[in-house]
Amino acid sequence: MSGRVGRGTRFALDGATGVRASRATAGVRSSAVLACQYGAQADDATVGRVAGRRLLGADLRVALIVDLAVLTAAVRDRCHGCRGSAAPLLVPRGTMPEAAGPTGDRRAGSELPEECGLMHLPTHDEAARLVRRWIRGADPRPLGRGMEGLVYEIDQDRVAKVWFGESATALRRTRAFYDALAGRPFGFEVPRIHEVHVVEGRCVTIERRLGGSPLADHVESGGVTVDEAQSTFLDVLSRLGTGGPLPEGRAMPVMDEEASLYDAAEDFPMALHALAERRVTRFRGVLEPAVEDLDKKVTALRGRLCEVDSGRRSVVHGDLTPGNVLVDAAGSPTAVLDWGFLTTEGDPVFDASVAASIFDMYGERALETELGLYARIEERLGCEREALLVYRAAYALVTANAYDAAGEDGHFAWCAAALNRPDIVRALLG
């Protein structure tokens, strides 16, 4: 098991089920990287706004170095696995008519978490105690820890996941989504939830163990070139985008929202814009100083989303990175995991735009990689550059404060920089 600091960090190795790693640590050095990677497109004043300062020239470079120390200290103090927030984790709780027992039986009157209450994150010893019943008392072998929970090996085919803060109702909905997803002929596996249990007030799921290892690891080891990895990445995007509508995806809540994306509107462009408006309203205090002409861009986004919508509908992963594409020894995709952050049904061009932008978020050649992937997506998937850029703006508005309400993390800086980027501004405003 291994994990790297950064937005693609994941701990779902050995074919375990997907767990989203903490992104409080993401982009600790991103302010400095952004100053370099957007240097050809943004002046120092623009980069200064991203860093939360109106500075010029050498003073900005010094300030960014100071920012790194501040961010590093903040990361060190954050709780691991709390959606990038230092606040106490909310764990749903309540009572439901029936619950599954350790062997899958249903017991009337058992307590199931349904409403949120405060609860500490489980230690390894606490979580291990909960899953021992499925491995005949042996010491559980941990496979990973991420934003959603702790994962332990049961056997070669199954894993147990101890959830930090998901309700049984939400997990049943996710189970139905995975069941529908598994019925599509993608040619690779997806997670499957076999059982949902509540043990000592915590949700525990028994899930299918996925085969393969992360594409990112193959690139890091030199077994797969970056070009080959991008080809595999595009292959996965193509399969997802041609799988057709998935109504079960419309029921999935996105990010930290309780309701489905489609509770606000029936069509994808309006639903996505409504989400962006809600996020801007919620985090205006930190977005406005960092994003030039914020209101003008939010208003323009509404019309532009309708104009660039391809009209096609498919499942949208919403968070596809080389870390959550599993491949075999030959580099062929075997599974896609880590669904749920921004998973829905929508325009596959949105998924392609997001995936291209987060393939390499904080590398020194991140912008070059993103633009290169856009070109390959245009050629292979038939997407238009203008649509990719408009969706890039939508993603930046929606997720800017996903991991830090105060906007002090690298992800916020990355999103704000995109919203001030000349090519994206032109796609929005003309």
140-182 confidence digits (pLDDT tens): 999 888 778 899 999 999 999 999 888 999 999 999 999 999 9
CB proximity list for 424: less than 8 A, separation 6 or greater: 389, 392, 393, 396, 418
For residues 24 and 404, the answer to whether their CB atoms sit within 8 Å is yes
Q: What does the CA dihedral 56, 61, 65, 71 come to, rounded to 10 degrees? A: 50
For residue 406, what are its two tokens?
């105060």
Q: Give the length of the chain.
A: 430
What domains does the chain contain, in order, with CATH numbers? 90-208 (3.30.200.20), 213-429 (3.90.1200.10)
Q: Does position 46 have pLDDT exceeding 70, yes or no?
A: no
Report d(CA 412, CA 35) in Å as an integer: 14
Query: In this structure, how many other beta carbons lie within 10 angstroms of the beta carbon of residue 406?
Result: 13
Residue 137 banded pLDDT, cuts 50, 70, 90: confident
- Other CB atoms within a 10 A radius of the CB of residue 88 amount to 12
- Are 296 and 305 in contact by the 8 Å Cβ rule? The answer is no
Rg (CA), the chain: 21
* pLDDT number for residue 336: 97
pLDDT at residue 35, as a whole number: 44
Residue 139: per-residue pLDDT: 87
Q: How far apart are alpha carbons 332 and 188 in whole angstroms?
A: 9
The pTM of the full predicted model, rounded to 2 decimals, is: 0.78
Residue type, 277: E
Q: Map residue 283 onto helix, strand or coil.
A: helix
How high is the pLDDT of residue 120? 66
